[in-house]
Amino acid sequence: MPNEKNVKFYIRRYDPLKDKEPYLRSYDVPVSKGMVVLDALHYIRENLDPSLAWRYSCRMGVCGSCGMLINGSPTLACNTQIFDISETELTIAPLPNFRIIKDLVPELSPMFEKHREILPFVVREESELDDPEGEFYQTPEQLEEFLQFTFCIKCGCCMAACPTLATDPNYLGPQPLAQAHRYNKDTRDGGRKARNQITGSNDGAFKCHYAGECSRVCPKGVDPAKAIQIMKRQLVFDFLKISKSQKPCEKLKGPGKGEKKDIPPAPTYTVQE
């Protein structure tokens, strides 16, 4: 194959049944232009070492399963072109700040538990369940306030890059905090007060000191650091009771209840039969 080069892959291996601690093992992989790190891992498992374990699913940067530390930076293996990083050697390790299950498979459950803690859903009054009709009114400007933060795929790269989380396992971390802000900013939501109890606690947003690494490594451009800083301002305003009303928007109930606008007539046919 033209433009093919041999790249040495140093992969951090760990077998919970045999090893006390992880170690590096090297593999030579023929790499051609266009190959991503995930392709190389497949090559290793199919041709060199069938015992290598990692987690992946969609192969296109959507599912967030294949987050790993590639040459010292947390990122997605399916999204990373090998030649963009190195043409000679590459070191791959599991995402730090998570426990290792095996080889490149981190245990992400602490992140998901923290995510669950911050009520990651639109909180409404339960009485609405009896009357599920209608829809919520939200302007494009209101949507833009949180749209960026909805793209999170929960890959854990931000949690792996956070230096505060590197020393403090109780800290909520960038992923749950950014998602808390995402729902706080949603005009349909009425759960900010409840979330503030968690995000404003000792292990919440104020433990972030803007190292910014979470935003730099995020493979989806979510910018958790930005969300956390804006949330801190909101927390201060809420504490001082000078923030805007946090009443969730009301439902629009069918035609006639909302603002009526004159509907322009349909244009005439341009093609005559």
Partner 1 sequence: MAELNRYDNRLGVMGWLFKGRWGFERYLYILHRITGLGILFYFLMHIVVTSLRAFDIYLWTEGEFFHHPVFRFGEFLVFAAFAFHAFNGLRLVFVELGFAVGKPIEPVYPYKTSLTKQRPLFVIMMIFAFILFVFGTYEFIISMGKMIGG
Of 207, 230, 248, 251, the residue at the interface with partner 1 (CB under 8 A) is 230
The stretch near partner 1 (CB under 8 A) out of 43-51, 67-75, 120-128, 193-201 is 67-75
Size, binding site for partner 1 by CB under 8 A: 54
Nearer to partner 1, 185 or 251 (CB): 185
Rg (CA), the chain: 24
Of 27, 54, 149, 183, the residue at the interface with partner 1 (CB under 8 A) is 149
Half-sphere exposure of 103 (CA within 13 A, CB side): 16
DSSP for 18-60 reads T-SS-EEEEEEEEE-TT-BHHHHHHHIIIII-TT------SSS
Cβ within 8 Å of residue 182, ≥6 positions away: 146, 149, 150, 152, 227
Q: Does 25 bind partner 1 (CB under 8 A)?
A: no
141 burial (CB, 10 Å; 0-12 / 13-18 / 19+) is: exposed
Residue 254 CA, chain-centre distance (Å), reads 36
Nearer to partner 1, 24 or 47 (CB): 24
Of 86, 142, 229, 246, the residue at the interface with partner 1 (CB under 8 A) is 229
Interior angle at CA 111, CA 104 and CA 227, nearest 5: 115
Q: Does 9 bind partner 1 (CB under 8 A)?
A: no
Q: Give me the numbers of helices (H) and strands (E) for the chain, helices first please.
A: 10, 9
Of 123, 211, 249, 252, the residue at the interface with partner 1 (CB under 8 A) is 211
Give the burial string for 229-240 (b: 16+ CB within 10 Å, else e): bbbbebbeebee
Q: What track of x and - describes contact with partner 1 for positions 157 through 196 (by CB under 8 A)?
A: ----x-x--xx-x---------------------------
Q: What track of x and - describes contact with partner 1 for positions 91 through 130 (by CB under 8 A)?
A: ---xxxxxxxx----xx-----------------------
**Which tokens belong to 77?**
């293996």
User: Which residues of this protein are in contact with partner 1, per CB under 8 A?
Assistant: 14, 16-17, 21-22, 69, 71-73, 94-101, 106-107, 144-149, 151, 161, 163, 166-167, 169, 208-213, 215-216, 218, 220-223, 225-227, 229-234, 236
